[in-house]
Structure 1
Amino acid sequence: MTIEDIALQMTPGIGVKGAVHLLELFGDARSIFAAPQEELVGRAALREETARQIVRRKGFAAAEKELAHCRRNSITAIASTDPEYPALLREIPDYPHVLYLMGDTAALSARCISMVGTRTATPYGQVMCNRLAEGLAAQVPGSCIVSGLAFGIDVAAHRAALDNGIPTVAVLANPLPEVMPAQHTAVAHDILDHGGALVTELHSQTRQNGTAYLARNRIIAGLSAGCVVIESPDSGGSLVTAQYADDYNRAVMAVPGRVTDRMSAGTNHLIRNRKAQLVLTAGDIVRELMWDFGTAPALLRQKPATPQLTPDEAGLLGCFRTDAPLTVEALTESCGLNPGELATLLVGLELAGAVRQLPGNRYMKLI
């Protein structure tokens, strides 16, 4: 972490995606501020005024103030170029360049699963939070539950994690060290006392305008290998989180409920429309995320020898640019093959041990 990292966040005209764009071009914040104005305009396609703000280092005074605030309040600032930054979060296209954190940084890089849902949780939703957390504690060493510390399912998920000895991460829509809602301050302290963390992308000088909640949901989804919607009506923030997870090629799961229960309408529709895998137990989560291979799968299974592929199969395998699973629709769009040709090549890749089919008609690269 350098002062340039925070200054980039403080520079007028540079938003989240603008920072990602500049970091992809220049590699780190220090190199961005070292670039001449002509390069910022020409190579990075910035507006003249925005480039001038960078060259004149307009964000540095505010960054110095922010560093002092972090020191006073025992807040850790982590840049996306730091080794401690969670790798899963860095994969999303709109990752926050700087995270502000209190607690254990390692919790962000554990086997994270997000649990989200309605603010008006029912006893059924709270029971399911407890059952899933209990099962994860028993089956997945090193797991971590991520949520937003809001009323309802969010805080129930955090409490269930704490009750079962699982670290939990609360992603806040406000600057630290404050906790919102204030009613959950005691839970936040418990999270810190039991190996978890409080995280936000908002610095202390952020102007609160009520738009941070939906943006916060992308971080919840981005930190996690999968997202479980416990309860939700037909609309709400938890469904937005599920959509973010789907956009990021993360597993989306949902707990079913009675068709007459309004608080299960959203989860039931996710399952009916094949937008989410049905979850009844923690074992369903474990299998969906392939966590059943053990604590360190790379150590338990030897990497298979490189298979002999046809040129067409190798070309299709090249469409898997990361280890994240891809849907058939995404592969079709990426490779331009018709459904019949794609199905034939996928069978060949499966037989060669190069890919594995997952629930939801998704495929994961294995080599």
Structure 2
Amino acid sequence: MTSEKLLAILRLQTTKNVGDIMAKRLISATGNVEQIFKEKPQNLAKINGIGSTVIQHLFDTENFKRAEEELNYIQKSKVKFSYFLDNDYPENLKHCIDAPILLFYDGNINLNTNKILSIVGTRNITSYGRDFCNQLIEDLTPYNSIIVSGFAYGVDICAHKAAIKQNLQTIAVFAHGLDSVYPKTHKKHIHEVKNNGGIITEFWHNETPQRENFLKRNRIVAGISRGTIIIESAKKGGSLVTADIANSYNRDVFALAGRTTDIYSEGCNNLIKNNQAHLLSSAEDVVKMFNWDLSKASTPKQKELFVTLTETEQKLYDYLLQNGKQHLDLIALECQIPVYQLSSILVQMELKDVVKPLPGKLFEV
């Protein structure tokens, strides 16, 4: 791409009151992006939706200076980018009317597949959500799925880490420029994400994570993938916005159901109840929906139940199996085992991989 063309794209991208839909309208009407800034204002004014205010902003000298500075940075730092009319622009995003006209990326991204899935959800992921997310991605491994998420706390980072563990490509969509990492605590995962996929953003290199940027980021997460999976969400949350956007793009949405009493299952349950998402119980639901080659479906792993348990261990196992996660003190009371003995027994059961300790002295099968 010539410097003149990239400069014109950047000028258009930074023009106030010109979003991606209007930008594409201008490009279509004038023939190419460079011609926009060569066209006479009276001709631009004939384009539907283009008023005098927009025209004034288009030729703002400050916009030109900012675009030149970003162009210099891109060329100096050899930033990779993709224009929405280029062949390497994400295919799924091309069909979204409000997709960014320009994307920046870093890493080893290869989108030459239709098996792209976005996985999002609450920042306050529970053990239920974490276990499901890890198992889901493990079961999707034979299909070489690409896992997309927003690099946030909770479900997002869980999905990225699970994909990396299974050696799947994963893509982090940033709500800021490539020069920063948010949240900062996730900086330690950047290297692995780049090696196993990469980062995509529409924001210039020094753009900070503003509140409105996260909503804009969500449309890329929803639009770049074949389907969007919601793993746990409260009644309100950003992942529900992503689900709405995915639905508006006529993409399939899946949601993990949970107990009606669980606060972080309420959003997912509502999506399913209102026919805004398919009920998701396993990777097989996704595979069947998209008609992927079922012969490659992974055989679900079953916990080995034939480990040797003592009579007391069997009693504890049966109790937790029937009652779900329970507090240490309640287990001791219900099973009539002193706490000092119970702690030691539970450690042995943990080593046998039949119980799992949780924060707050809770245990579950």
What TM-score results when the alignment is normalised by the length of structure 2? 0.74
User: Which residue number in structure 2 is paired with residue 315 of structure 1?
Assistant: none
Equivalent residue for 1:188, pick from 175, 187, 190? 190
Contact 1:84 1:105 in 2 (8 A): no
Amino acid at match of 2:87: P
Q: SS of 2:110's equivalent?
A: helix
Matched-pair identity in %: 35
Matched, 1:17 2:18: no
Distance 2:264 2:22 in 1: 38
> CA 1:50 to 1:206, structure 2 compared with 1: closer, same or farther past 3 Å?
farther
Residues 188-267 of structure 1 correspond to what in structure 2 (within 5 A)?
A: 188-194=190-196, 196-204=197-205, 206=207, 209-267=210-268
Q: How does 1:52-67 map to 2 (within 5 A)?
A: 52-55=56-59, 59-67=63-71
Q: CA deviation at 1:177?
A: 2.3
Q: Given residue 121 of structure 1, which amino acid in structure 2 is its aligned partner? A: I
3-state SS, counterpart of residue 133 of structure 1: helix
AA in 2 matched with 1:112: I
Number of residue pairs matched by the alignment: 292
Query: How far 1:24 moved relative to its partner?
Result: 3.5
**Distance apart, 1:109 and its partner CA:** 5.9
Deviation at 1:16, TM superposition (A): 2.7
- 2:153 corresponds in structure 1 to 151
Residue type of the partner of 2:292? W
TM-score, normalised by the number of residues in structure 1:
0.74
Whether the aligned pair in 1 keeps the contact of 2:90 and 2:111 (CA below 8 Å) is no
The 1-side partners of 2:275 and 2:48 are apart by: 40
Q: What's 1:82 paired with?
A: 86
Q: CA deviation at 1:34?
A: 3.0
Which amino acid is 1:226 matched to?
G
More off after superposition, 236-245 vs 72-81: 72-81
What is the distance in 2 between the residues matched to 1:294 and 1:71? 47
Asked if 2 retains the 8 angstrom alpha-carbon contact of 1:107 and 1:169, the reply is no
Q: Aligned residue for 2:100?
A: 96
Matched, 1:36 2:44: no
Gapped runs of 5+ residues in structure 1?
296-367
Q: Which one has a bigger Cα radius of gyration?
A: 2
Superposed displacement of residue 38, structure 1:
1.4
Q: Deviation at 1:9?
A: 0.7
Per the alignment, do residues 126 and 119 of structure 1 end up closer, same or farther by CA in structure 2, a change over 3 Å counting?
same
Native 8 Å contact 1:121 1:153 kept in 2: yes
Shift of 1:93: 1.6
Q: For structure 2, which runs of at least 5 residues remain unmatched after alignment?
A: 297-365
Does the 8 Å CA contact 1:76/1:101 hold for their aligned counterparts? Answer: yes
Contact 1:20/1:95 (<8 A) preserved: no
Query: CA 1:12/1:146 → structure 2, altered by over 3 Å: closer, same or farther?
Result: same
Change (3 A) 1:28 1:125: farther
Amino acid at match of 1:145: I
Aligned-partner residue type, residue 275 of structure 2? R
CA distance in 1, matches of 2:260, 2:21: 40
1:161 paired residue number:
163
CA RMSD across the alignment: 2.2
Whether the 8 Å CA contact 1:256–1:278 is kept in 2: the answer is yes
The 2-side partners of 1:294 and 1:82 are apart by 35
Q: Does 1:124 align with 2:128?
A: yes
